[in-house]
Every structure is written in structure tokens, then in C-alpha cells.
Chains A and B, each alone.
Chain A
Amino acid sequence: MTATQAGTAAPILVAEGLGKSFGAIQVLHDLDFRVERGEVLGVLGPNGAGKTTLFNLISGDHAPSAGTLHFDGRALTADPPYRRAQQGIGRTYQIPMPFSKMTTFENLLVSASFAGRKRESETYDRCAEVLRECDLWAHANTPAGQLTLLNRKRLELARAMAPGPRLLLLDEIAGGLTSEEGKQLVDLIRRLHARGVTIIWIEHVLHALMAVATRMIVLNFGELIAEGTPHAVMDDPEVQRVYMGIEA
């Protein structure tokens, strides 16, 4: 998708002057960016660049110190996390945080009925479908705490997908997986994208990100240092220096 095509509809997420500091440490500084409907925006940056903090600001886990966020034209800044989930922002955590004593199916029921604002019985079919789609069908009645890492990552994704979000935040979902497992996950994300879900994806597993992302932004020390198509961004000398340690 080119920038002009995407520009025809209003962007789904707009950040203006977004900043976050913890005490004296400024983690994000005066960030401006927009996410267009239907794109997969890759977020790249060395450790400590502020990527997960950015997600925490979007999902509402942290309040920004400066700036505003608009989701679908509506100011988000004052909404608590549960309300953002109900508005259609789904997120996965870098370290999976399943409801470990509940079964995989029950994990999905929670998000489908609360984030999705539906009666429990109305979500059964949808949750079963998402389980199938995310290759978790065989583990539907397994307590989430007993799942393997790959399946816990799938569960993070499935749980975020169950309510049918409009914006999905993926935080290092491919990290820690074997390349074969990573490939399965990439296929899954590609299928979700093909059905119109907008995705922001933080990832260190570059080839996975490059395979799906339609656009990328790069953060370093809380500032946006590059933005563009995946290949243009990776060819940027500043990105090569900061992210891969290649001196020009």
C-alpha cells in the first residue's frame, strides 16, 4: 500500500507530540506518527528505545506525560485500558500474560465478551473459530498455564483477536520461537491482515517483520529516526548505524 492510497481514508491512530518520562528519564520524546487503516506498521529500535512504552501509552497501561492520541478520530488519552479494549484496541504482551488457570477457550471468552461487549453465549462460536484459526483447537480445554511457549504466544494473539479488534498491537510475538514456529506465526498474522485488521508490530526478528510489514518506523532513545517502506528504512544509513551497528 502506498502512502497516497492510504491517505484517502482518515488514519486509525494519530499520535501528536507524544512523550513519556519516568522521573528524570525521558523514554519517549515528542513523537508524531499516524497509522493508516489496514496497514501493518513495523516498529523497530534497539532495546530501551521506548517501543513497549509506546504500546503502553496506546493501550492505556501508562498515561503519557505529554501529547495526545486519537483513535478513529476520538481522543484516547483519558480512557482507562479496559475502555480502549472495548473500543477495539487489542494487545499482546511481550511476555505472554495468559489467565493461567483458565482454559485456552475461557481465556478467549473473557476478551470476546468484555472487550467485545457481548453476552457470553454469543461469543462461543466466534471463540471456537478463532481457536481453529490460531491452531489452538486441540488445546481448547487445556489450562493456559500448561501450554508451550509457541502456544502461549498463539493464545496472546488469539485472545487479542477474539473480540474482533480494529487495531492490534503485537509486542515481539515472534521472539523466542524457532524459525519454523516463527514462520507459522507470520502466516497467521498475514491471514489476519488480509482480513482488514490494522496491526502495529514491534519485533526484533527482522525477517518476520519484513515479510509482513507495509511500513516501518524506527525509534532510538525515544525519538523517531526513520519512517518509510521496510526496504527504504533498512537502507537508511542512520538505521543501519543505530540498529545494526554498521558505521557508514
Chain B
Amino acid sequence: MADTPSPPAPPRISVRTQTLSGRLALAIGAGLIVTLLSLPFWASQGTIRSVVELCCYIAIAQMWNLLAGYAGLVSVGQQAFSGVAAYLTFVLAQNFGINPFVAIVCSLAAPALLAVPVYALLHRLDGPYFAIGTWVVAEVVRLIFTNLSYVNSGAGMSLRVMTQYTALERNIAICILCALMLVATVGGSYLLLRSRYGLALTAMRDNPVSAASQGVNVGRLRFLIFVAAAVGTGLAGAIYFSSQLRITPSAAFSPEWASIAIFIVMIGGIGTIEGVLVGALIYYFAHQWFGAYGASYLIVLGILTMVVALYLRGGLWGFFSRFVEIPWFPTRRKLEPRP
């Protein structure tokens, strides 16, 4: 390019990507991970069980947030992926004698392999059609497992091999896996969004047509996000059911998993990592305190979701961010002139 007429002198600039609140959040996050790892040595079985549950909610919701919030893929069938990973864990551990904790990691192959044909089948569908398609896939997978005698059909399986470990050993292993899961799903999303691909994902979130016209391969990114979200969701399913020691098709492939993920992301704030954490905490405590009320509790959660969807599009985190900007996971690139 010729340089006539010359543009103004090249500005000296720097680009800031980290903030004080971000550094603080990283330190707190590291502290929480260490606390999670120390749980087996001081917390009660009940506490550990509910913390494991919370970690699984966070992971599943974070994956759904990547899918729906960034890639624009609204899925209501993610339970297909958590279910197949959990089932493969049980099969590898019970029928093949593989160490159950190793089996959890190996089982991630199942959601990854399932995600490829599912995406090939569904990627041409738009918005609500895609959502219904994912739901159908999850139901088909549930029906297959319900009728598969190899996995004991509808009666489900138990993870009896766990009895060879003491409760402490089991808790240590599960807490380590939970910590790894949080680092992979929340930390992984954070790193992804701070990378060059984060720019593309955020651009896609705002306007996919425009993103494609600016050189972003939207189709390939959607595919990669779909597979990554399937694996992350699968990990949560495998950990959750391994800690429960029992699995049935109706529990593993329950649409409730999708409802929980959608609730958490909608309430907390779609398209932000912070929103998922806020939403997961709200769901967790609502479930702990009011879960016993059964149907009326679900009605209240449903109304709450509708109110947020109608009046607070960005969720609670989005509402909060309107007034103060203290991101826990900053992904902004701030341009600053350098003197």
C-alpha cells in the first residue's frame, strides 16, 4: 500500500487485558480450588456430596453458556452427552475392571464421538429447530439405553467396584476430579475467551453474519464448541453419577439437566462466565433451602426465569454490570495511549 498522503504519526499504544478485580478473582478462585481439594480431610460426607453437585452444575451450565451464549447453539439435549459419559464410566469400571477414576477420564471419548455425528445431523437446523433436534437425539439415546440389556436396561447399574476404596480415598479422588473439571470448564472458557478465538466467539455472539464477513469461520468454530461442550458436559455427568454410585437411563438422560443449565445461565447472565457462577450459586442454594417444597419450588424457579428473561435480558450479572464494572474474568482488550 502506498503511503500518500501520510496518516498521522503512528500512535504509541498499549493494550491492557487484565484488571485488579480480575487478579483478585484469580487469587480467590485458586483459594477455592485448594479448599475444594482439602474438603475430604475436614468436611462431612453430606457437604462433599453437595459441593460435588454444585461443581457439576457449574460445569454443565458453563458448557451450555459457551454453546448457547457464544456459538448461538441452543441445545436442550446436553443430557445425551453427560449420560453416555456416565454410562461408559460404569461399563468400563464394572465390566472391564478399569479403575473407576481412570474410567471417568476415558469415558470422555463417548461424548466426543457422539457429538460429531449429532452435529453433522443437526447443524443445518436453525434456532428452535436445532433445540428440538437436540432434544430428540437425547430422547433417542435414552430409549436405546433403556432397552439395552448390556447396561441392565431400565433398571440401571451400580458402581459396586467403588467398595474396594475407603470413603476417604473416594472423596479425595472425586474432589481432585471436580477441581480438574472446574479448571477445565471455567478456566478453559476464560483462556479461550482471552485468546484470539475469544474475539471470534464474542463477535459471533453479537452478530454471526457480520463475523463471517470479517473472516471468521463461523461453521468450524460452532462445530469445535459443540464437541468441546459435549466433552465438558460428559465429564460433569461421569463425575456426578460416579459419586452417586448409581445410574439409570431416566436419571442420566433426564431433561432436567438441560433445565438446570438453562435456568442457571438465564438467571446469572448469558454470554458471561461470571453469570454462570452467580446463577449456579443461586440455583444451588434455592435447591438446598426450598427443594423440599417440590412442585411449588419449581413454579417459583420458573416464574423467576421468566421475569429475568422478560425484564433483565443480561441476567443478574448483566444487571449488576450496568452499574459497576468489576469483571471477575475480564476479556476486554482496552486500548491505552502510551506517553
The segment from B3-11, B50-58, B136-144, B172-180 that touches chain A is B3-11
Q: Which residues from chain A contact B152 at a C-beta distance below 8 Å?
A: none
Contacts A106-B202, A125-B10 given; does A195 touch B215 at CB 8 Å: no
Q: Which residues from chain A contact B44 at a C-beta distance below 8 Å?
A: none
Q: Is A51 located at the chain interface by the 8 A CB criterion?
A: no
Q: Which residues from chain B contact A115 at a C-beta distance below 8 Å?
A: 214-215
Check B207 against A114 for contact (C-beta < 8 Å): no
From 71 to 97 in chain A, residues with beta carbon under 8 angstroms from any chain B beta carbon are 80-82, 85-86, 91, 93, 97
Q: Which residues from chain B contact A137 at a C-beta distance below 8 Å?
A: 11
Alpha-carbon gap, A102 to B193, bound state (A)? 12
Alpha-carbon gap, A111 to B210, bound state (A)? 10
Contacts A106-B332, A111-B214, A125-B13 given; does A100 touch B196 at CB 8 Å: no
Q: Which residues from chain A contact B335 at a C-beta distance below 8 Å?
A: 103, 105, 124, 127-128, 131, 140-141
Check B210 against A93 for contact (C-beta < 8 Å): yes
Q: CB < 8 Å: which of A106, A129, A141, A194 contacts B199?
A: A106
Contacts A82-B218, A109-B333, A110-B200 given; does A196 touch B213 at CB 8 Å: no
Q: Is A164 located at the chain interface by the 8 A CB criterion?
A: yes
Q: CB < 8 Å: which of A98, A101, A114, A196 contacts B216?
A: A114
Alpha-carbon gap, A239 to B218, bound state (A)? 41
Alpha-carbon gap, A116 to B196, bound state (A)? 13
Check A191 against B333 for contact (C-beta < 8 Å): no
Q: Which residues from chain A contact B4 at a C-beta distance below 8 Å?
A: 194-195
Check A102 against B203 for contact (C-beta < 8 Å): yes
Give the residue among A102, A107, A141 with the most B Cβ atoms within 10 A: A102
Give the residue among B11, B15, B210, B214 with the most A Cβ atoms within 10 A: B214
Q: Which residues from chain A contact B3 at a C-beta distance below 8 Å?
A: 195
Q: Which residues from chain B contact A124 at a C-beta distance below 8 Å?
A: 13, 15, 335
Alpha-carbon gap, A116 to B215, bound state (A)? 8
Give the residue among B200, B211, B215 with the most A Cβ atoms within 10 A: B215
Check B212 against A110 for contact (C-beta < 8 Å): no
Alpha-carbon gap, A101 to B217, bound state (A)? 20
Number of A residues, CB within 8 Å of B: 49
Check A98 against B332 for contact (C-beta < 8 Å): no
Q: Is B1 located at the chain interface by the 8 A CB criterion?
A: yes
Alpha-carbon gap, A91 to B7, bound state (A)? 22
Alpha-carbon gap, A80 to B213, bound state (A)? 9
Check A85 against B214 for contact (C-beta < 8 Å): yes
Check B332 against A114 for contact (C-beta < 8 Å): no
From 113 to 168 in chain A, residues with beta carbon under 8 angstroms from any chain B beta carbon are 113-117, 119-121, 124-125, 127-129, 131-133, 137, 140-141, 159, 163-164
From 161 to 218 in chain B, residues with beta carbon under 8 angstroms from any chain A beta carbon are 195-196, 199-200, 202-203, 205-207, 209-218
Check B13 against A159 for contact (C-beta < 8 Å): no
Give the residue among A106, A124, A132, A196 with the most B Cβ atoms within 10 A: A106
Contacts A140-B335, A194-B4 given; does A113 touch B199 at CB 8 Å: yes
Check A195 against B202 for contact (C-beta < 8 Å): no
Q: CB < 8 Å: which of B7, B209, B215, B334 contacts A97?
A: B209
Give the residue among B10, B210, B216, B219 with the most A Cβ atoms within 10 A: B210
Alpha-carbon gap, A110 to B215, bound state (A)? 8
Alpha-carbon gap, A128 to B4, bound state (A)? 18
From 210 to 243 in chain A, residues with beta carbon under 8 angstroms from any chain B beta carbon are none
Check B214 against A114 for contact (C-beta < 8 Å): yes
Q: Is B2 located at the chain interface by the 8 A CB criterion?
A: yes
Contacts A61-B209, A99-B206 given; does A129 touch B11 at CB 8 Å: yes
Check B213 against A81 for contact (C-beta < 8 Å): yes
Alpha-carbon gap, A59 to B211, bound state (A)? 13
Distance in angstroms from B272 CB to nearest chain A CB is 10
Check A102 against B217 for contact (C-beta < 8 Å): no
Alpha-carbon gap, A59 to B214, bound state (A)? 10
Q: Which residues from chain A contact B8 at a C-beta distance below 8 Å?
A: 132-133
Alpha-carbon gap, A61 to B208, bound state (A)? 12
- The interface bits of chain A over 48-67 (1 if a CB of B lies within 8 angstroms of the residue's CB, else 0) are 00000000000101000000
Q: Which residues from chain B contact A159 at a C-beta distance below 8 Å?
A: 214
Check B199 against A195 for contact (C-beta < 8 Å): no
Alpha-carbon gap, A215 to B335, bound state (A)? 39
Q: CB < 8 Å: which of B202, B213, B218 contacts A59?
A: B213
Distance in angstroms from A193 CB to nearest chain B CB is 11
Check A141 against B196 for contact (C-beta < 8 Å): no
B219's closest neighbor in chain A, by CB?
A: A80
Give the residue among A98, A99, A107, A125 with the most B Cβ atoms within 10 A: A99
Which residues on A are within 8 Å of B, measured CB to CB? 59, 61, 80-82, 85-86, 91, 93, 97-103, 105-107, 109-111, 113-117, 119-121, 124-125, 127-129, 131-133, 137, 140-141, 159, 163-164, 191, 194-197
Which residues on B are within 8 Å of A, measured CB to CB? 1-5, 7-8, 10-11, 13, 15, 195-196, 199-200, 202-203, 205-207, 209-219, 271, 332-335
A-B contact pairs, 17 of them (CB 8 A): A59-B213, A61-B209, A93-B213, A97-B209, A98-B207, A98-B210, A102-B199, A105-B334, A107-B203, A110-B200, A113-B199, A114-B199, A114-B215, A127-B335, A129-B10, A131-B335, A194-B2
Beyond A110-B200, A194-B5, 9 additional contacts (C-beta under 8 Å) are A91-B213, A97-B210, A102-B202, A110-B203, A110-B215, A111-B214, A113-B199, A115-B215, A141-B335
